[in-house]
Amino acid sequence: MTNMDLCNCTKLRRAARHITRFYDTCLAESGSGLRATQYAILGYLKNRGAQTMNELAELMTMDRATIGHNLRPLERDGLVRIEVSERDRRARIVSITDEGLNRMEIGRVGWERAQAEFEEKYGAEHASSMRNMMDEVVGINLHA
What pLDDT sits at residue 4? 73
CA–CA separation, 62 and 57 (whole Å) = 5
Q: Tens-digit pLDDT profile for the chain (144 aa)?
A: 777 788 999 999 999 999 999 999 999 999 999 999 999 999 999 999 999 999 999 999 999 999 999 999 999 999 999 999 888 888 899 999 999 999 999 999 999 999 999 999 999 999 999 999 999 999 999 886
What is the DSSP code string of 10-63? Answer: HHHHHHHHHHHHHHHHHHHHHT----HHHHHHHHHHHHH--EEHHHHHHHHT--
What pLDDT sits at residue 117? 97
What pLDDT sits at residue 90? 85
What pLDDT sits at residue 86? 86
What pLDDT sits at residue 3? 76
CA–CA separation, 66 and 93 (whole Å) = 16
